[in-house]
Amino acid sequence: MNRSSNLLRIALLCACILAVGCAMTPLAGVVPGSTTLDELRGLAGEPRARIDHAGGGATLYYSHQPYGRENYAVRITNRGVVASVEGLLTVDNFAKIRVNESTTSEVRTLLGPPNSVDRVERKGHTAWEYWAWLNSVPMRVWISFSADDVVREVVRIDETPQLNTCPAPGC
């Protein structure tokens, strides 16, 4: 076997492992219109957050952060049946966040609960951290809120491994 054949086999094996891993997420067996709240809890456990709606029903937030880089909103009808499952950490949802306009409530609805919350004392802000795949790029995103709960800054960090780089001159 030559080197390129071995590399192809390794790449195919990695792709298969990744595909199986994705299919094994607890929400993979959830069927909107059919899965009940009790069945959902049996498959996925307790949600990270829950918002009850005035007219009945609820939105349950399931987080696979940090390394899964996913948040899901599972909407439950007032009869206790899953209505929809939506991935939240998308390019479109991040694009809807408006500096000096969006609020903590709007961001939580768009993205779900953050991976972590930190206080930035020197700015007087609170920063929410999300880990996401944006356009197939691993990203960490910090959204800073001022005391009035308005977004003041969004910082994105590309976490793509930098291969074959050398920090010293002459490498």
Let me know: does 87 contact 132? Beta carbons within 8 Å: no
Helix (H/G/I), strand (E/B), else coil: 171: coil
Q: What is the pLDDT of residues 6-28, one digit of tens each?
A: 545 554 444 444 444 444 467 88
Q: What is the pLDDT of residues 120-133, one digit of tens each?
A: 999 999 999 999 99
Show Cβ contacts of residue 38 under 8 Å, excluding neighbours closer than 6 positions: 80
Beta-bridge partners for 145: 126, 151
CATH code, residues 25-87: 3.30.1450.10
Q: Is the dihedral of CA 111, 67, 119, 141 positive or negative?
A: negative
**pLDDT > 80? residue 170:** no
Show Cβ contacts of residue 28 under 8 Å, excluding neighbours closer than 6 positions: 22
Let me know: does 27 contact 74? Beta carbons within 8 Å: yes
- Delimit the domains of the chain by residue range: 25-87, 88-166
**pLDDT > 50? residue 56:** yes
Q: Which fold has domain 88-166?
A: Beta-lactamase Inhibitory Protein; Chain:B, domain 1 (3.30.1450)
